[in-house]
Amino acid sequence: MRSYLFPEFQIFRDESACNQCRGCERQCAFGTHIYDPVADRMVTNEKLCSGCQRCAIFCPKNALVVRPTPPYYRPNEAWTREKIDDLKKQAETGGVLLSGCGSDKPLRIYWDNIVLNASQVTNPSIDPLREPMELRTFLGRKPDLLEIDDCGEISTELGPNITIEAPILFSAMSYGAISYQAFNSLAMAAREFGTLFNTGEGGLPRDMRAEFGRYATVQVASGRFGIDAEYLNCARAIEIKVGQGAKPGIGGHLPAEKVSSKVAATRMIPEGTDAISPAPHHDIYSIEDLSMLIYALKEATNYELPISVKVAAVHNIAAIASGIVRAGADIVAIDGMRGGTGAAPKAIRDNVGIPIELALSAVDRRLREEGVRSRCTIIAGGGIRCSSDVIKAIALGADAVYIGTAALIAMGCTLCQKCYTGKCNWGICTQDPRLAGRLDTRIASQRLVNLLTAWSHEIKEMLGGMGINAIESLRGNRDHLRGVGLYEWELDVLGVKGAGE
Amino acid sequence: MEAQLIDCGTAGPALNAVKSWRVGEVEIDATGMPSKELNNLLRNCMLNGTRHFLLKNICGQRYIGTRLFGLMIPLDIEIVGTPGNDLGAFLSGHRIMVHGNVQDGVGNTMDDGEITVQGRAGDVLGMSMRGGKIFVKEDVGYRTALHMKEYMDKKPVLVIGGTSQDFLGEYMAGGIVILLGLGGKPHLANYIGTGMHGGVIYLRGDLMPSQLGQEVEISPLDEEDRAILDRYVGEFLDRFPEIGMCKEEISEGNMIKISPISKRPYGKIYAY
- Tens-place pLDDT, residues A160-211: 999 999 999 999 999 999 999 999 999 999 999 999 999 999 999 999 999 9
Is pLDDT above 80 for B78?
yes
Predicted local confidence at residue B5, as pLDDT:
54
- Contacts of residue B197 in chain A, CB cutoff 8 Å? 273-274, 276
The answer for residues whose C-beta is within 8 angstroms of residue A499's C-beta and 6 or more apart is A115, A482, A483, A484
Is pLDDT above 80 for B187?
yes
Predicted local confidence at residue B272, as pLDDT:
65
Nearest chain B residue to A296 by CA distance is B63
B residues 37..96 contacting A (CB < 8 A): 39, 43, 62-63, 66-67, 69-70, 85-86, 89-90, 92
DSSP annotation of A10 reads E
Q: CB distance from B128 to chain A under 8 Å?
A: yes
Is pLDDT above 70 for B15?
no
Residue among B67, B151, B148 at smallest CA distance from B159 = B148
| CA-to-CA dists, residue A380 to A306, A359, A361, A395, A496, angstroms | 17, 9, 10, 12, 18
What are A312-357's pLDDT values in tens digits? 999 999 999 999 999 999 999 999 999 999 999 999 999 999 999 9
Nearest chain A residue to B173 by CA distance is A269
B147 closest CB neighbour out of A224, A233, A296: A224
Chain A residues with CB under 8 Å of a chain B CB are 89-90, 92-98, 222-224, 227-229, 232-233, 253, 255-256, 264-265, 268-270, 272-274, 276, 278, 282-283, 292, 295-296, 299-300, 302, 420-421
Q: CB distance from B142 to chain A under 8 Å?
A: no
Predicted local confidence at residue B12, as pLDDT:
54
Give A107: exposed, middle or buried? Use CB within 10 Å, 0-12, 13-18, 19+. Answer: middle
Per the CB < 8 Å rule, is B67 touching A274?
Answer: no
What are B123-136's pLDDT values in tens digits? 999 999 999 999 99
B residues 251..270 contacting A (CB < 8 A): 263-270
- Report the b/e string of A350-374 with b at 16+ CB within 10 A: bebbbbbbbbbbbbbbbbeeeeebe
| CA-to-CA dists, residue A498 to A118, A175, A209, angstroms | 16, 44, 49
Q: CB distance from B151 to chain A under 8 Å?
A: yes
| Rg of chain B taking only CA atoms, in angstroms | 20
The answer for residues whose C-beta is within 8 angstroms of residue B145's C-beta and 6 or more apart is B125, B126, B127, B129, B158, B168, B169, B172, B175, B177, B201
User: Strand pairing partners for B159?
Assistant: B135, B178
Task: Count CA atoms within 13 Å of residue B257 on its CB side.
Answer: 18
Q: Please, are residues A395 and A480 in contact by the beta-carbon 8 Å criterion?
A: yes
| CA-to-CA dists, residue B14 to A10, B19, B24, B59, angstroms | 75, 11, 18, 16
Predicted local confidence at residue A398, as pLDDT:
98
Nearest chain B residue to A422 by CA distance is B272
User: Strand pairing partners for A134?
Assistant: A470
Per the CB < 8 Å rule, is A255 touching B86?
Answer: no
Q: How confident is the model at residue B266 (pLDDT cuts 50, 70, 90)?
A: confident
Per the CB < 8 Å rule, is B272 touching A268?
Answer: no
Among left, alpha and beta (phi > 0; psi -120 to 50; other), residue B269 is alpha
Distance, CA of A290 to chain centre: 23
Report the range of poorest mean pLDDT among B61-75, B81-95, B249-263.
B249-263
A287 Cα to chain B: minimum distance (Å): 15
Is pLDDT above 60 for B1?
no
**What would you measure as the largest C-alpha separation in chain A, in angstroms?**
90
The pTM for the full model equals 0.94
Per the CB < 8 Å rule, is A300 touching B128?
Answer: no
What are A30-85's pLDDT values in tens digits? 999 999 999 999 999 999 999 999 999 999 999 999 999 988 899 999 999 999 99
**Angstrom distance (rounded) from CA A27 to CA A31:** 9
| CA-to-CA dists, residue B264 to A306, A428, B9, B196, B216, angstroms | 36, 25, 51, 9, 12
Structural domains in chain A, CATH included, are 9-71 (3.30.70.20), 137-498 (3.20.20.70)
Q: Please, are residues A240 and A310 in contact by the beta-carbon 8 Å criterion?
A: yes
Q: What percent of chain A has pLDDT over 90?
A: 91
